[in-house]
Amino acid sequence: MDWFVINMLNGISYGMVLFLIASGMSIILGAMGVANLAHGVIYMFGAYIGWTVAVKWNASFLLAFLAGGFSAGLVGLVIERGLLRHLYKQLNEQVLLTFGFVYIMGNLCLWIWGGLPKMPFTAKFMDGSFEIMGRVYPKARVSVILISLILAIVLWWLQDRTRMGAIVRAGMDDKETAMGLGINLQRAFAIIFFIGSFIAGAAGVIGAQLLGVHTELGFDVLLLALIVVIVGGVGSVQGALLGGVLIGVIDAFGRAVVPQLAMFTMYFTMIVVLIIRPQGLLGRKI
């Protein structure tokens, strides 16, 4: 029983990080139809900024969280306002442009912070461990679950209970009618892109507890985000949460039961979901 509980907690904590990684990408893709392949390096940039604030400047974890999120949000805003707003409904051009930013941002991070992985950093309340069913379990993983749940509730509230969320849903359903009603979708899209990138950067700070901070994060995180978005569905916070937790739990038990095939379990899950429900578990067609 303790084996099951520990692996379940490992899977949920990993899945919550995957949710944070994928939620911003899912919202951007669903609301704007923009395939932002730079999402992974935006996450990585936020993680490096958070590491700098927490370790180099010896500041609080909360400040590192905010700094990582805002810096990533500004990078995303520059990409959207400077380039992507001219390429709406041009999928091939979006893919090429944002994939180019993967290399630009990756090399920028390599130039600034070097190629060596960075030491872990965490808040004081995340330090240490406690006992679960006779086993020692790190507080950091439980803290990741709780923080991610709070952010999930905030994102759900923003999407389903606010005027901005209503504008986003209207833009997802019918952009032309929304614009005809006088809604400034350009401004709304800029805010959406900033929020999606902020989430990615903040996720980089939180995810550093599990995934670390290194120069390979850009590609690794992009792949994970795409899998979760496909499984959970595009444009849905609830879908990203369900997809992230599902992939995380399956990955954790896969590593525990069949470690030789662990790397294939999430891909197998994605294939099954695509066959049964191509738009994802809780997604909508775009």
Query: 3-class secondary structure for 10-30?
Result: HHHHHHHHHHHHHHHHHHHHH
- What's the predicted TM-score (pTM) here? 0.90
- pLDDT at position 212 is 85
- pLDDT at position 12 is 93
The stretches in the chain having pLDDT less than 70 are: 1, 169-175, 178-179, 181, 284-286
In tens, the pLDDT along 52-88 reads 999 889 888 899 999 999 999 999 999 988 888 878 7
CB 233 within 8 A of CB 281: yes
- pLDDT at position 85 is 80
* Residue 112, helix vs strand vs coil: helix
